[in-house]
Structure 1
Amino acid sequence: MKFTTLTGTVVVAAFTATMSVAQDRAGWPDSFTVGTGSQGGTYFGYGSGWAGIVADELGVSGGAEVTGGPMQNMALVHTGDLPFGMTTMGPAAESIAGSNPIAPGLPMTNACAMFPMYQTPFSVTALSSSGITSISDIPDGARIGFGPAGSTSDTYFPRMMEELGVNFDRRNGGWSDLGGQLQDGLLDVIAFAAGVPVPAVSQLEVQTDINIIEFTEEEQAQITAAFPVANFDISADAYTTLEAPARSVSMWNFAIANCDLPETFVYEVVNAVMSDNERMVNTHRAARSTLPEFWDRNTVMKWHPGAARWFTENAGASIGADMIHGG
């Protein structure tokens, strides 16, 4: 098992430890890295935020690493190339079943659930000048950016578009890059699956006029019947472009840990993140859903023993032994 800081890591150094963790630190790493997603996406901003909080609270230097998103994070955390990462329930289920495209046929069962993050809404954005105001307006053969290859968006949004009868030319890239391509007329639409507000969308609406396209009730029902998602409304205050909530669908995100990490270390990491929601929200607004009561949104991954103990002791969680790694 190797826990290394990769090239390009944004390091959050813990220069002072303001508290002493009354725990046996045997086996704790000297530093840690969190696998996130592309720059301009919610994963990177959110992951940098909780890495900083953990570093400050535990006195262990840490940072966020740019990755390909949930599928790659499952692979990196499973192998131990990264100690921590973030994923969504759909890619987690596929990875555990051995259907992760990074390593087909390999059940990734050594990546454990750590704490609930937030729901990922699936939303569509186009320039106002395009005239696209609904899914049915998307022209035949439209150039659609689906985010980084292997991300939650790239895994599920193309299937959703096909389900809704959209014929498209599929494009991939980081959210910031795709936002620039949309503004330059190289893309017709971006299909985002990321916690709101998505930084790339916020940047776009400052620079130009955009349409945030909601699903109709019929489209929403069709998608929830076909995919592991639930109804969701993007709040009107998420973007200045919105004047009312936008109808969407969403999938839950969870932070994950390599299952072999020390129980005491993971317990304290979870404690640092979950004990002060206001501090988390200050790092990213998507953290408004990073609350202990949402522990039960994980129905896919086994829990890390340290995380299971924290939620049992502090959130009244009833996690069966069959859902705890090594239990």
Structure 2
Amino acid sequence: MKSINLMGALAALALGTAQPALAQDRGDWPSSFTVATASQGGTYFAYGNGWANLVADELGLSGGGEVSGGPYQNMALVHTGDTAFGMTTMGPARESIDGNNPIAPGVAMTNACAMFPMYQTPFSITALAGSGITSVDTIPDGARIGFGPAGSTSDTYFPRMLELLGVEFERRNGGWSDLGGQLQDGLLDTIAFAAGIPVPAVSQLEVQTGVNIIEFTEQEQQRIMEAFPLAPFEIPADTYSTLQAPARSVAMWNFAIAGCDLPESFVYEATKVVMSDNKRMVNIHRAARSTVVENYDKNTFMNWHPGAARWFNENGAEIPADMIHGG
């Protein structure tokens, strides 16, 4: 009995010393956190809520996703500390860091740091099969083009891209499903999508009326990439029944972001939860197939959070010190 009591006392002593150490390790952690996503029904909302809940469960914290206005607002929310984490595309991130975020012009949002790569958002153009539009240079002057929701990544960058390529157009905005209906009814000439593929509106149009998926030429692709923070992309042939071969396009990377002043150990552990088991992330959303270590280099300008950078560098990345916040 004495032996048992002694063992119990030793165990209690060990537990008593371990608990303060754990408390000390997490002493500067927030008790809860929020991930800024976007509107309901989109990829950001599903993906963001998924990884927020995963991190909360694994780390024993209260956390979840929050509806927001998307990439630009998310940069602002994380920069000001209104949310701990967020999600952004690299174009809005670049503009925000440079002080060109339309939410707060002139404010350099440098307190938002890179956390991990998410996935690519391809840019694609769709026209009706009977329109005669088969390439960018066959889009007629004054074409009515739908660019998606006002202020979205598509609405921000696609008009600039087409202007660069010499296209003259009338700008229209709306939800993707609504724009698809307008295209089918002859109220639009094309739709310029920046969205995960397959785009449901395009798949529906294929069944109902038939479409042309417009690819960029090599020269057009190169000009666009030189002017904007975009990467080369091919829309796989099996994405749409219309395609007989992969379609040349461009895409913008999406990254998770974290407040640069969040505790290093907290962001390290949150990054580890997301990045250590890709199958678990893919179960949350198929787009997470690109949420892998190898894609860390798709961020070429945003400072990394020290905690995220430490995890990546321990797992095969080579993030230089001058790209780490405070480094």
Interval containing the TM-score (normalised by the shorter chain) = 0.7 to 0.9
Q: 2 CA distance for matches of 1:143 and 1:61?
A: 47
Gaps of 5+ in 1: 1-20
For residue 115 of structure 1, report the CA deviation from its aligned partner. 0.2
Q: Is the 8 A contact 1:41 1:199 kept in 2?
A: no
CA shift digits 1:18-62 (9 cap, x unpaired): xxx999333434443322234454333332332333233334344
**Larger helix proportion of the pair:** 2
For residue 200 of structure 1, report the CA deviation from its aligned partner. 4.5
Does residue 303 of structure 2 align to residue 320 of structure 1? no
Partner of 1:255: 256
CA shift digits 1:210-261 (9 cap, x unpaired): 3322112232233223333232111123334433211101222211111122
2:277 maps to amino acid: D
Q: Is the 8 A contact 1:117 1:255 kept in 2?
A: yes
Partner of 1:155: 156
Q: 1 CA distance for matches of 2:146 and 2:228?
A: 20
Partner of 1:146: 147
Partner of 1:10: none
Partner of 1:18: none
CA separation of 1:184 and 1:162: change in aligned 2, threshold 3 A: same
Give me the CA root mean square deviation: 2.6
The secondary structure found in structure 2 opposite 1:116 is strand
Q: Is the 8 A contact 1:197 1:286 kept in 2?
A: no
Q: 1 CA distance for matches of 2:48 and 2:203?
A: 18
Q: 1 CA distance for matches of 2:182 and 2:305?
A: 40
CA separation of 1:253 and 1:124: change in aligned 2, threshold 3 A: same
Q: Is the 8 A contact 1:40 1:175 kept in 2?
A: no
Q: How many equivalent pairs are there? A: 306
Does residue 18 of structure 2 align to residue 54 of structure 1? no
Q: 1 CA distance for matches of 2:218 and 2:130?
A: 25
Q: Among all aligned residue pairs of Structure 1 and Structure 2, give the percentage whose two residues are the same amino acid.
A: 78
CA shift digits 1:130-176 (9 cap, x unpaired): 44332233232222222333332222111111111211111233434
For residue 114 of structure 1, report the CA deviation from its aligned partner. 0.2
The secondary structure found in structure 1 opposite 2:127 is strand
Does residue 278 of structure 2 align to residue 269 of structure 1? no
Partner of 1:288: 289
Partner of 1:195: 196
For residue 202 of structure 1, report the CA deviation from its aligned partner. 4.4
Gaps of 5+ in 2: 1-21
Larger Rg: 2
Q: Is the 8 A contact 1:40 1:198 kept in 2?
A: no
CA shift digits 1:174-210 (9 cap, x unpaired): 4344344444544332212233334544455466533
TM-score, normalised on structure 1? 0.83
CA separation of 1:192 and 1:114: change in aligned 2, threshold 3 A: same
Q: 2 CA distance for matches of 1:129 and 1:282?
A: 39
2:322 maps to amino acid: D
What does 1:85-104 correspond to in 2, within 5 Å? 85-104=86-105
For residue 124 of structure 1, report the CA deviation from its aligned partner. 1.0
Q: Is the 8 A contact 1:68 1:149 kept in 2?
A: no
